[in-house]
Structure 1
Amino acid sequence: MGEAKRGDTAARNTPRILVVGPSWVGDMVMAQSLFITLKRRHPGARIGVLAPGWSLPILERMPEVDEAIALDVKHGEFGWKTRRDVARSLKGRFDRAIVLPRSLKSALVPFLAGIPHRTGFTGEQRYVLLNDRRKLDKTVLDQTVKRFVALGLDADEEVGGELITPHPRLRVDAARQDALRAELSLGERPAIGMMPGAEYGPAKQWPLEYFRELAATLIARGHAVWVLGGPKDAAAGDVIAEGLAHAHNLCGKTRLADAVDLLAACEQVVTNDSGLMHVAAAVGTRIQALYGSSSPAYTPPLTDNADIHYLALSCSPCFERTCPLGHRNCLKQLSPASIQQAIQG
C-alpha cells in the first residue's frame, strides 16, 4: 500500500501532459509561457504538444517541449479520421491534457485518447469532452497569454491580477544564422527587419508606402532592411524593397525556423501585430510594434524591449479584418517619421 501511494505521488509530481496548441504563429509562441509555467511547477513533467505541422519548427526551439505531435488538419476541416488516428497513437501516453483553443473539435483528441484529466475553458458544448472545465472571466484574464497560463494552474487556485506570465524565449541557432547571411547574400550592414503582413486582415496592416519610405530612410543611414513574411507577403515585400539597394525581400524564401534566426540577427524590427512580431519578441530583438484594429492590451509583444505605437482613436480597437469606416486612420496617422525617431532613439 505504501509503495502504491509513493507511486501515485511520483506520478503527480512528474505528470505526462499533452497540450493541444493553437493554430496561429503568435499564439503558439505565447503558449511557451504555459510550458515554462508547467515545467517550473512540475520540474520532472514531460510535455507533449499537439499542433499543426507548420508549427513544429517553432516548438523545436522551445526547450520545455519534450515532444511535438503533428495534427495536420486543413483550416476549417473537421478531419475526423485524422483526429481519431492521432488519438489512437496517444492512448496511455499522457495523464493530463490542456486544451488551449475553445472549439469543440480541438478537445476531441484528448477525449478519444482516453486521457484521464482534460482541462479547458467552457465553450462550444464541450461538457463531455472536458472533465475539468474552467469559466473564462475576460475581465481578469484580459490577455491571451494569461488565459494560456491560467489553464496550467490547479482548478482551485485563485487567478488574479498577479498572475505570473513568463516571457517566451526561443532558442537561436547561431551557425544557421551565419549560413543564412551567406546563402541570401545579406551583407554585413546592421539590419532592421520589417514584417508587413498580418494574417488576420488589412485592418492590422500599416500602409506599404510607409514601410517603403521608412526603409529608404534607414538605408540612407547605413542600415540594411530585411522584409520577412510568408509566400502571401511576397508582393508586399516587392513594394517595399524593389529598387532599393540593401533592401532584401525574403518573404516566402525562408522557412519558419530560418525566420527565428534572422529576426534574432536584426537590430530592431518594425512590425504589424502579427505572428512574427511575437517571434521577434521571443528572441530578444527590439520591436517597433504597430497597432491599429487590435489592442496592445490584449496581445502585446511579451518582452521588455519594445516600443508600442498605438493611437487609441475613438474607433479603436475594432478587431475587424477590414476597417468598417473605410479609412484606417488608426494606422495611416502613424507616420514613418515617428517610427524612424523611435528607432534612432
Structure 2
Amino acid sequence: MREHAAQAAAPSLLVAPQWIGDAVMAQPLVGLLAARGERVVALGLPGVAAVLRAMPGIERVVETPFAHGRLDLRARHDLARELRREHFARAYVLGNNLKARLVPWLARIPLRVGWRGEAAGALLTHALRAPPSSRRGDVREHYAALAQDLPPPVLGPGLPAQPPHGVAQPVLRVDPARARAAAQEFELPPGFVALCPGAEYGSAKQWPAGHFAALASLALAAGLPVAILGSARERESARAIVETVRARSLRDMAAPRPAVVDLCGHTDMEQAIALLAAAGGVVSNDSGLMHVAAALGRPTVGLYGSTDPRHTPPAAHRSATLWLHLPCSPCFQRTCPLGHLNCLRALDPQWAWSALSELMAVADGA
C-alpha cells in the first residue's frame, strides 16, 4: 500500500516541444496520460508556456529560462536540481535533440521515454524508433505513441498503455470571461475575423499579403471586423495588408466599413490565445496560431503550401484545410526552391472566404 501511494503521488514530467504548433499537437498525449491517472507537470520554453497553461490534463507548467538554440548548461543544471526535489517518476521527452533530454537526465528521473535521436542511448531509458521521414504520419499520433512504451503507473483503473487507434483531437480551453475581456481590451466586437499571416519556418508557408488583404476586404464587406494577429516579425506583412485594404476601399469608393486592426507585436501569447478564443473565425498559414485556434474549437481555415496537412493537421473540431498538393508540394523547404510559390499563390482568397463562411455558419447554428 505504501508503494502504491508513493507511485500515485509521484508526478510525470512532460518536456514540451519548442514550437507552439507542436506543443498543441502533444495535447492528445497529455490527455492519455491524465486519463490513466498520471499527474502531468509540463516543462516548456516561454514561447509555449501559455499554450501549456491552456491545455487540459496539465497540472502545472514550469517555464524554462532557456533561449532557442542555446545549450545553457548551467541553467539546465540548476533547473534539474530544483526538479529533483519533486521526485518525478517518469519523463516524456518530445524533442529529439540533446538539449531537450538533458534536464530529465540531470534531474535523475528514473524512467525517461522519447524517440531515438541525439544521445538517446545515454540520456533516455526507453528510446522508440521513429518511422523514416518518407512515411511521415500524423504528428499527434507520433507523440501519443510515447504513452505505449511504458506501462501506466499502478494507480488503479485507467486507460491501457496502448493508445487507441486514431488519437483524440487536441483541445485547449480559455475561460469565456477571459476571452471577452481580451476582445474588449483591444476594442474588438464579437464575431471578428482573425488573420494570422506569419509562419515561423519561412516564406514557403506564407500566403501572400495581397491574398490576406483580399480576404480581409471580403470579411469587411460582410460587416465583420478584422484583426491581424502575430509577433513583431509580422508587422511588415500586416502593414501591407492594412494599406492594400485601405487603397482598395478608396478605389471602390466603398461606404465606411469596420476597420482592420493590426495587433502584430502588440500582444503576448496569453493575450493572443484569449483573442483567438473570442474570434468568430480564423484564417491562418500552417503555423502555431492556426493550431491554437483550431484546438480552441474556433472556425479555422488552415492554408498549406510547402507543408502537408496529413502530417500536421489542425484539430478537426471546426476546421478546414486548403492545399493544392501540386507536384512540387509538399517540399518542406523554408523558401520556394522553384521561386514561384504557386502552391500558395494559387489558393484563391474567395475559396478561403467561402470555406470560412461555411464553418462560421455551422458554428452559429450549433
TM-score, with structure 2 as normaliser: 0.86
Once the two structures are overlaid, the 10-residue window that deviates more, 235-244 or 329-338, is 235-244
Whether contact under 8 Å (2:138, 2:310) holds in the other structure is: yes
Partner residue in 1 for 2:352: 339
Matches within 5 A, 1:1-345: 6-12=1-7, 15-42=10-37, 45-93=38-86, 94-138=88-132, 142-155=137-150, 163-188=165-190, 190-242=191-243, 243=246, 245-345=258-358
Once the two structures are overlaid, the 10-residue window that deviates more, 178-187 or 146-155, is 178-187
Q: 1:179 to 1:16 in 2, by over 3 A?
A: closer
Q: Give 2:130's aligned amino acid.
A: L
1:20-62 deviation digits (Å, cap 9, x = unpaired): 11101111111221111101122xx221111112322222222
Question: 2:62 & 2:356 partners in 1: Cα distance?
Answer: 39
Question: 1:89 & 1:344 partners in 2: Cα distance?
Answer: 50
Cα offset, 1:187, TM superposition: 3.6
Identity %: 39
Whether contact under 8 Å (2:196, 2:282) holds in the other structure is: yes
Q: 1:35 to 1:150 in 2, by over 3 A?
A: same
Whether contact under 8 Å (1:23, 1:51) holds in the other structure is: yes
Cα offset, 1:191, TM superposition: 1.2
Q: Secondary structure at the match of 2:122?
A: coil
Q: 1:69 to 1:344 in 2, by over 3 A?
A: closer
1:265-313 deviation digits (Å, cap 9, x = unpaired): 2221111000000110111001111100000000000223111100010
Q: Give 2:199's aligned amino acid.
A: A
Whether contact under 8 Å (1:227, 1:241) holds in the other structure is: no
TM-score, with structure 1 as normaliser: 0.91
Cα offset, 1:124, TM superposition: 1.5
Q: Give 1:216's aligned amino acid.
A: S
Q: Give 2:178's aligned amino acid.
A: R
Question: 1:114 & 1:89 partners in 2: Cα distance?
Answer: 11
Whether contact under 8 Å (2:42, 2:61) holds in the other structure is: yes
Question: 1:318 & 1:301 partners in 2: Cα distance?
Answer: 19
Whether contact under 8 Å (2:113, 2:149) holds in the other structure is: no
Q: 1:7 to 1:158 in 2, by over 3 A?
A: closer
Question: 1:11 & 1:184 partners in 2: Cα distance?
Answer: 48
Number of residue pairs matched? 336
Cα offset, 1:186, TM superposition: 2.0
Q: Secondary structure at the match of 2:120?
A: coil
Extract unaligned runs of 5+ from structure 2: 152-159, 250-257, 359-366
Q: 1:210 to 1:25 in 2, by over 3 A?
A: same
Whether contact under 8 Å (2:299, 2:356) holds in the other structure is: no
Whether contact under 8 Å (1:206, 1:331) holds in the other structure is: yes
Question: 2:308 & 2:56 partners in 1: Cα distance?
Answer: 30
Q: 1:288 to 1:82 in 2, by over 3 A?
A: same
Cα offset, 1:111, TM superposition: 0.8
Q: 1:58 to 1:91 in 2, by over 3 A?
A: same
Question: 2:47 & 2:53 partners in 1: Cα distance?
Answer: 11
CA-atom RMSD, angstroms?
A: 2.0
Q: Secondary structure at the match of 1:72?
A: coil
1:205-226 deviation digits (Å, cap 9, x = unpaired): 0010000011112101111111
Once the two structures are overlaid, the 10-residue window that deviates more, 109-118 or 144-153, is 144-153
